[in-house]
Amino acid sequence: MDCGEYPMTVIQQLTAAQAVEHAIHFGFPNRHCERMKNGLKWNQYQKNTFQIVNPLLESGGIVLIHGVRGNGKTQIGAGLGCIWWKRGYHIQRGKARYWTLPDLFTKQKQTFTESKVRIEPLQLARECGLLVIDEIDTDQNSGYDKRELRDLIDTRYRENQKPTLLLTNVKPEGLKDALDYSILDRIREDGAFVQLLGSSYRRNDPNQ
Ligand SMILES: Nc1ncnc2c1ncn2[C@@H]1O[C@H](COP(=O)(O)OP(=O)(O)O)[C@@H](O)[C@H]1O
Ligand SMILES: [Mg+2]
């Protein structure tokens, strides 16, 4: 979806419904955001995860949430995005944006071949107030992508102290194949690895 510019000057304080619309506009998945609008009830595991993750993100840290497929990680990311838009933007903490990792790099590479001038997704990702990167996996990253992701996360933390949330189904022992070791060190030092417990909401998921 298009994550381009938006008439920000009109924003004062958003209603919950407006915050959801903004989250969707800035890449957060439609279905998960709509669930927020329709009064989704968090389960106890998700509530516990929020309690750990929120203060770390508030202080500009890097958090990785892992857990089995379908147990509500993207939903947490969408929830945090909507909350950020509701509470965060009007106190000038910048935009909340969401990409899946494959999508971020696909869109980035598209800008290399496009004739019209557009702000590169990686630049938007570096500068936004809250960055959520979903679907981090072991087999998708070239060495180049891994380094770009490392630089992105490093810049956000080192230069700007801006929070980043990473979401994955990969177990901690497999993460070294998914992420550069220096990102793992950064998460350990300046954030946390948080496991979301609970089983899949998707029935008959063959991957469970
Ligand atoms: N607390 C909840 N109550 C009801 N449905 C939920 C809840 N949390 C997540 N879901 C739904 O369950 C499905 C799987 O959640 P999702 O966040 O996509 O899982 P994951 O990203 O961990 O694979 C989605 O359709 C999501 O909207
Ligand atoms: Mg997901």
Question: Does some domain include residue 4?
Answer: no
pLDDT at 9: 45
What angle do helix axes 16-25 and 73-83 make, rounded to 10 degrees? 120
pLDDT at 119: 81
Question: Does some domain include residue 150?
Answer: yes
Q: Is the pLDDT of residue 170 over 90?
A: yes
If phi > 0 it is left, if psi is from -120 to 50 it is alpha, else beta; for residue 72 that is left
Q: How confident is the model at residue 6 (pLDDT cuts 50, 70, 90)?
A: very low
Please give the mean pLDDT across all residues of the chain.
Answer: 87
Q: What is the pLDDT of residues 53-105, one digit of tens each?
A: 999 998 899 999 999 999 999 999 999 999 999 886 666 788 999 999 999 99
Note the ligand closest to the C-alpha atom of 43: 1
Q: What is the pLDDT of residues 117-165, one digit of tens each?
A: 678 999 999 999 999 999 998 876 677 888 899 999 999 988 778 999 9
The domain of 132 spans: 10-195
Question: Does some domain include residue 204?
Answer: no
Task: Name the residue of 74, 75, 168 to mutate for ligand 1: max ligand atoms within 8 A of Cβ.
Answer: 75
Q: Is the pLDDT of residue 2 over 70?
A: no
Question: Does some domain include residue 3?
Answer: no
How many separate domains does the chain show?
A: 1
Question: Does some domain include residue 208?
Answer: no
What share of the chain in percent tops pLDDT 70? 87
| Centroid of ligand 1 to alpha carbon of 101 (angstroms) | 19
In this predicted model, which residue has the larger pLDDT, 38 or 115? 38
pLDDT at 93: 81
The pTM score is 0.90
Q: CA-CA distance, 185 to 173, in Å (whole number)?
A: 14
Question: Does some domain include residue 28?
Answer: yes
| Centroid of ligand 1 to alpha carbon of 10 (angstroms) | 32
Question: Does some domain include residue 61?
Answer: yes
What is the CATH classification number for the domain harbouring 170?
3.40.50.300
Q: CA-CA distance, 179 to 141, in Å (whole number)?
A: 8
| Centroid of ligand 2 to alpha carbon of 8 (angstroms) | 29
Q: Ligand 1 atom 15: the closest Cα is on which residue?
A: 72
Q: CA-CA distance, 146 to 72, in Å (whole number)?
A: 25
Task: Name the residue of 33, 64, 74 to mutate for ligand 1: max ligand atoms within 8 A of Cβ.
Answer: 74
Containing 185, the helix (H) or strand (E) segment is: helix 181-190
Question: Does some domain include residue 138?
Answer: yes
